């Protein structure tokens, strides 16, 4: 049994490292707001609304991936070690980071143009709810 302890410890460390990040811990990728410089306020409003919806969906997908990973890790460590292999399923952290960056760039362009603030973006916390 003592020989199995290092293997179990290694599996536990691997599982913890492989868990999907919480959506709020994923930083936005840099997206230059200058790419929206020639876009009208109406089109910026539409883009903000669309991006907010995609950001909310990606935030939920990332949150679901995190929960799935936590369950797989718990089951794998307590009952069935091969369940830890489920942690290899990719999450949506790259998409989420890109969407966060686009949202920030859209907001910056929206503000720089002096557009009306009629569009309400979905925040990370709301998207995760």
31 pLDDT higher than 90: yes
In angstroms, rounded to a whole number, what is the distance separating the alpha carbons of residues 18 and 12? 10
The sign of the dihedral angle between the CA atoms of 95, 46, 101, 63 is negative
Higher pLDDT, 125 or 93: 93
In angstroms, rounded to a whole number, what is the distance separating the alpha carbons of residues 100 and 80? 36
Show me where the domains of the chain are located.
Answer: 23-117
Kindly report, residue by residue over 79-106, the tens digit of the pLDDT. 665 655 555 556 677 888 999 999 999 9
In angstroms, rounded to a whole number, what is the distance separating the alpha carbons of residues 8 and 77? 8
pTM of the model: 0.65
Q: 12-16, 62-66, 68-72, 87-91: lowest mean pLDDT where?
A: 12-16
Q: Which residues contact 119 (CB under 8 A, 6 or more apart)?
A: 45, 48, 49, 52, 110
| Token code pair at residue 118 | 């009629």
Query: What pLDDT, on the 0 to 100 scale, is given for residue 122?
Result: 47
DSSP type of residue 82: G
């Amino acid at each position: 049994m003592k020989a199995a302890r290092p293997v179990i410890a290694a599996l536990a460390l691997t599982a913890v490292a492989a868990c999907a990040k919480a959506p709020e811990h994923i930083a936005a990728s840099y997206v230059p707001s200058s790419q929206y410089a020639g876009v009208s306020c109406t089109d910026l409003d539409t883009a903000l609304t669309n991006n907010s919806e995609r950001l909310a969906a990606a935030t939920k997908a990332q949150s679901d991936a995190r929960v799935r990973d936590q369950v797989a890790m718990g089951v794998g460590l307590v009952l069935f070690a091969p369940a830890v292999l489920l942690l290899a399923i990719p999450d949506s952290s790259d998409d989420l980071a890109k969407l966060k960056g686009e949202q920030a760039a859209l907001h910056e362009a929206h503000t720089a143009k002096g557009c009306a603030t009629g569009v309400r973006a979905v925040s990370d916390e709301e998207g995760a709810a």
